Amino acid sequence: MESNAKIYVAGHRGMVGSALLRRLKQAGYHNLVTRTSQELDLRDQAAVASFFALENPEYVLLAAAKVGGIVANNTYRADFLYDNLMIQNNIISQSQQHGVRKLLFLGSSCIYPKLAPQPIREEYLLTGPLEPTNEPYAIAKIAGLKLCEAYRSQYGCNFISAMPTNLYGPGDNYDLQNSHVLPALLRKFHEAREQKKPEVEIWGTGTPRREFLHVDDLADACLHLLLHYNEAEPVNIGTGEDITIADLADLVRNITGYTGSIRFNTDKPDGTPRKLLDVEKLAGLGWRYTIPLREGVKKVYQEAFAN
């Protein structure tokens, strides 16, 4: 991928897209194309077609998506399914029509069955029922992955897919109604410390295990795949290590300096019991993560909440 190659980063203002931009610029790529959602509604087929005809990008990184945590996923089920299907269908189809040299589609680890064997290998896709609370988002991402495979099979397109684990980092969403577990914990403990609350409530039992990857590590892995991977099968991106929600809460409590207690609300859902990705395929391609969880969370907290 030449340093002057025209690269379109879809979703460049999101946490993932902005990390991709930072990594590409750091690597010397300078011919980068972006559009805000106000400038280009990616759900609009005609608008996306006009954009591709105008810009004619050589490479596409598809990081645009409607995203959210367990509450948002379960509340706005139709929006999550429709919006994500439209975004990815338009970009992937236009990439084929305009001869894009390579496209990277970013999915999510939620595409895998709720009770998949652990750690989760790429071939476990479509071997069991999904987690009900985020099924619409997962189905959309599965459709995007399969669409990339189909365009590769039918048209010979070099469209690849990567499935990241749970992400955190600069530009994360800290809205308690729509955020994922880690940013939600950071905000809860920070506000509890500031307001001197005696306890913090955590949803569920605290026993589910989750894997977390800093978004800058994800961006580095994506660039590695763009340069070194050209196959149809998806690739998991993660650390290969996980932590219980209870231990994560303790870690966040320690980092934020909160001294109160933690109460687990067992009336609230836990979600998937465990979600750890098998990352041996990516390791075989020569990539492993570099940012430890404690170090990454501490830095994110300082950046997002430092007064």
Q: Would the annotation count 287 as a binding residue?
A: no
Q: Would the annotation count 203 as a binding residue?
A: yes
Which amino acid is located at 281 in the chain? K
Measured between its terminal Cα atoms, the distance across the chain in Å is: 41
Beta bridge partners of 264: 202
Q: Would the annotation count 114 as a binding residue?
A: no
Closest CA to 232 of 145, 155, 140, 165: 145
Q: Would the annotation count 71 as a binding residue?
A: no
Q: Would the annotation count 136 as a binding residue?
A: no
139: phi > 0 → left, psi -120 to 50 → alpha, else beta; which? alpha
Whole-angstrom Cα distance, residue 268 to residue 59?
43
Using CA atoms, how far residue 294 sits from 227, 291, 300, in Å, is 30, 9, 10
Q: Would the annotation count 272 as a binding residue?
A: no
Q: Would the annotation count 109 as a binding residue?
A: yes
Q: Would the annotation count 68 as a binding residue?
A: no
Q: Would the annotation count 104 as a binding residue?
A: no
Q: Would the annotation count 14 as a binding residue?
A: yes
Using CA atoms, how far residue 81 sits from 40, 74, 181, 214, in Å, is 19, 11, 21, 26
Sign of CA dihedral 49, 54, 57, 62: negative
Q: Would the annotation count 275 as a binding residue?
A: no
Neighbours of 20 (CB within 10 A): 29
Active site residues: 137
Closest CA to 167 of 64, 19, 41: 19
Q: Would the annotation count 13 as a binding residue?
A: yes
Q: Would the annotation count 15 as a binding residue?
A: yes
**Stretch (H or E) spanning 274:** strand 274-275
What residue numbers does the annotated binding site for substrate cover?
188, 203, 210, 270
Binding site, annotated residues for NADP(+): 11-17, 106-109, 141, 164-167, 180
Q: Which residues are annotated as a binding site?
A: 11-17, 106-109, 141, 164-167, 180, 188, 203, 210, 270
